[in-house]
Amino acid sequence: MTLHNDIERVLFSEQQILSGIDRVAREVTAAYQGRDFTVVSVLKGSCVFASDLIRRIPIPLELAFLAASSYGNNTVSGELEINFFPAGTEIDGRNLLLVDDILDTGRTLYALKRELARRGARDVKTCVFLDKAARRAVPLAPDFRCFEVGDLFVVGYGLDFAGRYRNLPYVGALRKEVFAAAGQP
């Protein structure tokens, strides 16, 4: 048994993913030509995407990571705890490119963007691997995105279900039995 057995269908193959990232890397490169910037990868989901993306951007950049957790019910209200890695990552006056795995309701990136602006970032742009545009609950459109995806739960290429499947090299939909076995509809 391998993780592949749990996948009902592949939505984006490794080849498709890499050509989508090539396109977005060219867009990012053009946007930041001649400007210093920091790529901020939102953990854990975006680490696979971010590492493929930055290797296709041939201009200077810095790399940082953050983990965000909301401690209210509503991240839009900005009740967000942010931990940077490294802890002293410079925000004030920096151009930041927030990189995330998937934009769903948009609440996480919306709140993060607002908080980083409040901390003095000069400019905050967003780059997402997948965009579930139909699910958006806040007014946020990503500045860069690789692919749009419908309203279904997907795993692989950094995305997990119950902590698993991040290491699949493609994006796929899980078999129904996997959700059922985990007690989810």
Nearest-approach distance from CB 29 to ligand XMP, in angstroms:
24
Dihedral through CA 95, CA 135, CA 51, CA 23, nearest 10?
-80
Q: Which is nearer to ligand XMP, 6 or 100 (CB)?
A: 100
Q: Which stretches of the chain bind ligand XMP, using CB under 6 A?
A: 45, 100-108, 153-155, 159-160
Q: Of the two residues 68 and 122, which places its CB atom closer to ligand XMP in the complex?
A: 68
Between 41 and 108, name the residue whose CB sits nearer to ligand XMP: 108
Active site residue 104: yes
Dist CA 9 CA 11 (whole Å): 6
- Within its chain, how far is the Cα of 72 from the centroid? 22
- Of 91 and 106, nearer to ligand XMP (C-beta) is 106
Question: Smallest gap, in angstroms, from Cβ of residue 75 to ligand XMP?
Answer: 7
Cβ atoms of 131 and 148 closer than 8 Å: yes
Helix (H, G, I), strand (E, B) or coil at 9: strand
C-alpha dihedral sign at 57, 54, 3, 104: negative
Strand-strand pairing, 171-174 and 154-155: antiparallel
Q: Quick check: 40 and 61 in contact, CB under 8 A?
A: no
Closest approach of ligand XMP to the CB of residue 42, in Å: 7
Which residue in 104, 123, 143, 160 is the catalytic one?
A: 104
CA distance 104 to 173: 16
Whole-number Å distance between alpha carbons of 97 and 143: 9
Cβ closest to ligand XMP, residue 63 vs residue 138: 138
Least distance to ligand XMP, CB of residue 88, Å:
25
**What one-character DSSP code corresponds to residue 136?**
-
The residues that are catalytic are 104
